[in-house]
Every structure is written in C-alpha cells, then in structure tokens.
Structure 1
Amino acid sequence: MTVKLGFADAGEVADLAAFLARLIHYDRSAAVRLQAGGGALAVFGRPPAFEVLAIRTVRLDAVVELDVTVSAGELLEALDEPASAVVVPSAVTGPPWAGVLPPRGGWRQLPGLPSDAEIRGAVAAAVAEFRARDEALPAEARTRAERDRIGREIWSRTLGGTEVPLRVVHAAQSLGFLRAAGAGAELALLGAGPWLRLRTPYGSVAVRRVGVGALPLSPL
C-alpha cells in the first residue's frame, strides 16, 4: 500500500532533507524509523560515529498514523520539496536500535544545562583536544584503534554538571541541530526513565544513561 505524506511547512521539509543527507554521510546504508501521529512525523536515525539517537520532527498537513522503518537514502530521494510531500518508501528490515526507541511521553526538564555559548565552547575544545592528541601520536601509534580510544575518552566526558556525554552535543552540532535560533528558542535537557534528550529548535539527540534500568520499548 502506497502512503503519501504532505508536510505543513516547506522550511521543515528542507531541514528534513538536510538531516537525511547528514545521516547518509555517516552511513550510506542508513535506515530511519518513521512514526507519525497527532499531525507530526518523527524521523529517528542513529549516526554510527556518535552512538546516539537523533530525532527530527516535521509537521504534517493531516493526521496520519504510521510506524515503519525505511532506507534513509530512498526517503531522501522520494522527498518532493516543491510539493512539500513524500511517498513513503517500502519498509526495510530495521537495525536493532530501530526496535528500541525513547518513550513518547513522560519527559521532564532537568536542570544544569550550560548556556548555548558554553555548549559550543565545550564541543570546540573537545574537537581541538582530539586533533592535538591525534597529531602528537608517533607514526607507529596512529592507528584506528588508538584514535577510537582517544575519541571515546574525550566524548564520554559529561557536559558541565549534567549527565550528558559530550558526544550528544557533538552529534547535535554535526547534524545541524545547534544552529543559531531566534529569541526564546533555547536548548533544553530532558529526562525520561533511563533516557536523556537534548532538545533544540531543529531536532533532538537522545542517549541512554549508563547503568540506569533497562532500555524501554517505545509504544507503537
């Protein structure tokens, strides 16, 4: 059965296309899970370089119920930006992460999130540290395993006084979620059970807190 979705805002369609393109940049065979309900479509992806879930939400022009995993590349190709519509591609067998998503509800705002400027500064400092330590490696030690070890050490550090790993904000920046926004459009840190979510005006990045409960299944 062919499903066609119409979008309510052309700017959000362009943002969705950019999001999908970034996911494909990190993984050409990337899959995304689509969940539509209540007049909005949530698109979930997992860029492998960051080990987080990224979520981009776009408003629909009608109330539609949908839950399917598709190829990110096929979805991008199917997007008709001038018409603000898309014919949903055929379902694919989803990767393991696509079966276990953060809950839809029960989120509460958490304190301690630094200012936007401090967050950007923390990411920039971490990137600079990685580059400096990578360049300082002797030639015989400049291996993928050693670079991965340095990256895990740096990006597993937490942001300010929060539990948020730096890889969450690095992913948000790399996926285009940390663009400057209008007044009042601030970042927010949310929690629900074992999950943390950094919400921005352009998308969210979610991660499971280490050592907190079992991974909950999102209701279908």
Structure 2
Amino acid sequence: MSTPVRLMLADAGEAADLAAFLVRLLRFDRAAAVRLQAVRSAGSGGAEAVAEPESGAAASGSGVLAVFGRLPLGSSGALAIRTARLAELGGPADLTVSAGQLLESVDEQANTVLVPAAVTGPAWAGLLPPRTGWRLLAEPPAFEVFPELMAAVREFKERSGAVPEHHRTRSVLDGLADEIWSRPLTAAPELPLRAVHAAYVMGFLRPAVPLTVHGAGAWLRLSAPAGSVAVRSAAAPGAGLGLSPLR
C-alpha cells in the first residue's frame, strides 16, 4: 500500500482558506468529491501549470495545490477552483478524493493536508479546464456585477417560492435555474450568470474585489483573489439540482 502524501501548506491562512472552501462545497453536496492537483513550482509558473494564470497562489514556495469542486446549477454545473501555496511538497499528486475526508485531513495548527485515498471520480473530474492558452476577455467591475447577481438571486427565490409544493420537482427547479443562470452577464456577455452565482456561493465574489474573465477553447473562467469558477460554453456532463441562492 502506498504511503499517503502529506502536503505542507505555506501558512495557517492557506489551511483556513482551504478548509472554508471545502465547508462551502459540502454545504451543497455532503457526498462531494474534489479533484486535487499538487505540483512543484517552476519560478512564477506554479499556478499557471495548474489552473489560474493570473493567481498569485504560487508566486513563492515549493509548490501549489489546486482543488476543483463542482457546484450543480440547473442541468449544468460550474467548477469552483481554489489554490493554496505549499511550503513543502512530499510528492506530486493528481487524484480525486472525498471532499469530506479532505476537510478532515486539513490540520490548521500544523498547516498540513494529508491526502486521503483516491475514490472513483464523477464524470466531470476527468474534464478539467486547460492549463494554458487562456486569453483575457473582460475585467467586469464588481460594483456592476454584484447588483445584477442579487437581482437574479431574488428572482430565483421569488419564482421558486411561488411554485406549488406538489409541482416543485427537481426538473422544475432545474429548468428555472437554467433559465436564470444561463443569462449572459451584462458587463461580460461571454460569461453566464451561472459562473457569477457559483463564485458568490463559494465566497469568492464580494462587492469590491477585482474580477477578470478569461477564455480558452470551450472554457470560460471568472477569477477573483479568493478563487476561480470555470464553466464550459457547451453543456457540461452530468446534471444537478438548481441551488437555492444564499442570502
């Protein structure tokens, strides 16, 4: 049996942020799985080799850990991505694990993560955004994005609440979620509101944070300092229940 990989995070802040990311993900899916990629830094390109070209997550240190988790938003989904700086890398890692087990393995006092055993991954885990080839599409101001998102959140709440309980099925809620979250963002029409909503529920989107939108092939990515959300312009594999927006 192989020895578990222990990852040393750069500091307590990285451990706390990773734990918070996993807590939010598990809030929507207690059985969630996440795809992990841990690689050594190569100059300033550590994060570029994993997920986020503009992120500072690997500007220093010996490696970077990227955690990918899927949020269901209607019949399509969005990938939430969180990177963490590594002070030490016991060995490279690329596997799918239980999000709950990963959360339990985060030691905020020791600043370490003991990578749990791999699980059979869902279909989305085999189809991640590309590592390179991203081009900047837009830099939407958060003060414009946030009110539009909040209006959509209110609409979802009002319309889903108005559906009679005996008609409030998974397919009905998925259809409503698809209608609302597939709309283009006014400040960046390439990007669906689905990506903005996912960034919000994961705690990445706040009223004053800098935002960028990048594209690469069929993928689009909304990035903020705390993390990124990636969506495919075509329907992603798998389906999920529309999320009830946070307050």
Range class of TM-score, shorter chain: 0.7 to 0.9
**Deviation at 1:149?**
1.8
Structure 1 segments unaligned to the other structure (5+ residues):
212-220
Among residues 100, 108, 132, which one is paired with 2:158 in the alignment? 132
Counterparts of 1:73-152 in structure 2, within 5 Å, are 73-111=100-138, 113-138=139-164, 141-152=167-178
Counterparts of 1:150-161 in structure 2, within 5 Å, are 150-160=176-186, 161=188
SS of match in other structure, 1:179: coil
Post-superposition CA distance 1:62-120 (Å, at most 9, x none): 35421111110000001000110011111111111111101111111113x43101111
**1 or 2 for the larger relative contact order (CA 8 Å, sep ≥6)?**
2
Contact in 2 for aligned 1:26/1:49 (Cα 8 Å): no
**Deviation at 1:122?**
1.1
Q: What is residue 203 of structure 1 aligned with on the other side?
A: 227
Distance in 2 between the 1:135 and 1:120 partners? 22
Q: What is residue 20 of structure 2 aligned with on the other side?
A: 18
Contact in 1 for aligned 2:73/2:181 (Cα 8 Å): no
**Deviation at 1:138?**
5.0
Distance in 2 between the 1:207 and 1:133 partners? 25
Distance in 2 between the 1:79 and 1:47 partners? 21
In structure 2, do the counterparts of structure 1 residues 77 and 149 end up closer, same or farther at CA, with 3 Å as the change threshold? same
How many residues align structurally? 207
User: TM-score w.r.t. structure 1 length?
Assistant: 0.87
Contact in 2 for aligned 1:177/1:204 (Cα 8 Å): yes
**RMSD in angstroms over aligned alpha carbons?**
1.9
SS of match in other structure, 2:71: coil
User: TM-score w.r.t. structure 2 length?
Assistant: 0.78
Structure 2 segments unaligned to the other structure (5+ residues):
42-62, 236-247
Q: Which has the higher strand share?
A: 2
Among residues 174, 188, 191, which one is paired with 2:215 in the alignment? 191
In structure 2, do the counterparts of structure 1 residues 9 and 179 end up closer, same or farther at CA, with 3 Å as the change threshold? farther
